[in-house]
Amino acid sequence: MGQEIDLLANYPRAKRNVEERGASKSEKDRAIARKFGKEFFDGDRQHGYGGFQYNPRFWQPVIPTMQAHFGLAADSSVLDVGCAKGFMMHDMAELIPGITVKGVDISQYAIENAIDDMKTHVQVADAKDLPFDDNTFDVVIAINTIHNLVREDCAQALREIMRVSKGGAFVTVDAYRTDEEKERMYNWNLTAETIMHVDDWIAFFDEIGYTGDYYWFIP
């Protein structure tokens, strides 16, 4: 197995009112969000982002950390699973000139509204069935994506990540370490179908043969 490492340590952290969000979100809101359509990305904040727009302050501080960790260079290739509108891909291509970046997302809306320079590099696809040959990419990244699948499908997505990767991979998933964090996680959660204690995630990775790196999203 890979290592627990926070490659998003430099990603800006917003102050979250978790309790208020938990009190205000209904199962209807979650059902709308899980369609991953316009309502999730650019609709009401109740159903998702409340406007998903590019801002370099988010991913540009993160890319150098990923570059150093994986040794990314102009001849490297990276797949972003759950790429949304391709913002991370855009910054990676800008900061590592020449690198090959591809992205997939389940959301037709996100792909159709991808940032302009990434439109030819993204496509609609399911994480459970990635449309690439074995060992295609040096690194496969999935940020807050695979936990949106039920456990069995989450396992299949992780297997697919390893299949299309030459060995490098990094995922982040919704998780908790304490009962307090668990309560906060469930209050915050809008789209995740698989949420586990960090120890259970590690056992899950080992069980299905995921050998990439990983970290947690804990609000």
167-216: pLDDT as tens digits: 999 999 999 999 999 999 988 889 999 999 999 999 999 999 999 999 99
Question: Which residues, 6+ apart, have CB-to-CB distance to 3 below 8 Å?
Answer: 213, 214
CA-to-CA distance for 101 and 98, rounded, in angstroms? 9
**Structure confidence at residue 23 (pLDDT):** 55
Q: Give the whole-angstrom CA distance, residue 170 versus residue 211.
A: 9
pLDDT score, position 212: 98
Asked if the structure places residue 184 within a domain, the reply is: yes
How are beta strands 122-124 and 196-197 bridged, if at all? unpaired
pLDDT tens by residue, the chain, 219 residues: 799 999 999 999 876 665 565 556 788 888 888 999 999 999 988 888 888 999 999 999 999 999 999 999 999 999 999 999 999 999 999 999 999 999 999 999 999 999 999 999 999 999 999 999 999 999 999 999 999 999 999 999 999 999 999 999 999 999 999 999 999 998 888 999 999 999 999 999 999 999 999 999 998
Q: Is residue 93 included in any domain, yes or no?
A: yes
As for how many domains the chain has, the answer is 1
Query: Does residue 66 sit within a domain?
Result: yes
Q: What's the pLDDT at 157?
A: 98
Question: Which CATH number belongs to the domain containing residue 115 in this structure?
Answer: 3.40.50.150
Q: Which residues form the domain of 202?
A: 27-46+54-217
Residue 4 belongs to some domain of the structure? no
Cα radius of gyration rounded to whole Å, the chain: 17
The answer to pTM > 0.85 is yes
What is the rounded average pLDDT for all residues in the chain? Answer: 94
Residue 94 falls within a domain, yes or no?
yes
Q: What is the pLDDT of residue 20?
A: 60
Q: Is residue 8 part of a domain?
A: no
Residue at 5 is within a domain: no
Report pLDDT for 131.
Answer: 98
Q: What is the pLDDT of residues 68-80, one digit of tens each?
A: 999 999 999 999 9
**What separation in angstroms does the CA of 51 have from each of 8, 41, 48, 55, 160?**
22, 6, 8, 12, 30
Per-residue pLDDT at 35: 92
Cα(136)–Cα(109) distance, integer angstroms: 26
